[in-house]
Amino acid sequence: MPFLRSTFIALSRNRSLRRFGERSRIGVKLSSRFVAGMEINDALRVTEAVNRQGMAVTLDALGESVTNESEAHRAAEIYHQLLDAIAARKLNANVSVKLTQMGLELSSDLAETIAGNLAEHARSIGSFVRIDMEDSSLTQVTLDIVRRVHAQAGMRGAIGIVIQSYLYRSQADIDQLLADGIRVRLCKGAYKEPAGVAFPSKADVDANYIRLSCKLLDSAVYHGLATHDPKMIEAAKSYAAQHDIEPSRFEFQMLFGVRRDLQRQLIHEGYNVRIYIPFGREWYPYFMRRLAERPANVLFLAKSLLKS
């Protein structure tokens, strides 16, 4: 449903609705399906519960596009606290970071310094930082920063990246990342992109996802396949079985609150599963993008609202 997707993506950028939603009781209630809570302890509590179910976690403190350097450092401090908590509680978890939250739109040097410090902290506790991919205008600078941090002495394996299968450029980007030995999370992509940079049809995005996932599975590096699409999952499982790729060499990744049945099924079948757990008061843009991705999410929330 392209119209529905475009509508929710447009709504994700509406500042008035965002202010209302993030401050209203009903908005917070609806967001709880996909957002673990407002505070660090909420996210840690959910992480522990997910770990007990046999699944790993990546934690995301929600927020985008800070407006000054002090905001960027405050956002980074939340991630340092998360990394300390992961180590102290011995959680099976890492963190996911948006560079715009670390000041990328203010200064690429600022964002790179903060990302490097987080990766160094993660490395020191045996964890890992994943840099999220944002819209296509930021793809190249995000790749450049991740590659430079990863190339620093002692930092190999401490930082990874997200690649979106709806971009034409993604195959070439993955080839470079594999040559560098950088861990990749492959997803389809959740931003509205110009026709000149992204595949316009779902069929083409899906075909590219399968193509790129096979390339990642062939790699000696441990990667994540982020999808709730049974066809994409079955394609990966089939390719791995045909090429004697052990389930321990990769993981499936899913969003908190989406396809819990499928998450449990994959664990039962012996696959590694990691759940992306977002939290924080700036939840609105993330929430609207989740609604844009799957019409079923809209129906679920409508039913929940009618029952309340």
Would you name the residues annotated as active-site residues?
132, 185
What is the 8-class DSSP label of residue 56?
E
| DSSP string of 4-48, one letter each residue | HHHHHHHHHT-HHHHHHHHHSHHHHHHHTTT---SSHHHHHHHHH
Nearest alpha carbon to residue 75 among 108, 110, 45, 41: 110
Q: How far is CA 130 from CA 79, 161, 261, in A?
A: 12, 5, 26
**Distance of alpha carbon 22 from alpha carbon 129, whole angstroms:** 27
Q: How far is CA 31 from CA 4, 58, 256, in A?
A: 19, 18, 11
In a 10 Å sphere around its CB, with 0-12 CB exposed, 13-18 middle and 19+ buried, how is residue 178 labelled? middle
Residues 6+ apart with CB under 8 A from 90: none
Short-list 220, 153, 212, CA closest to 182:
220
- Matching residue, tokens 């989406």: 258
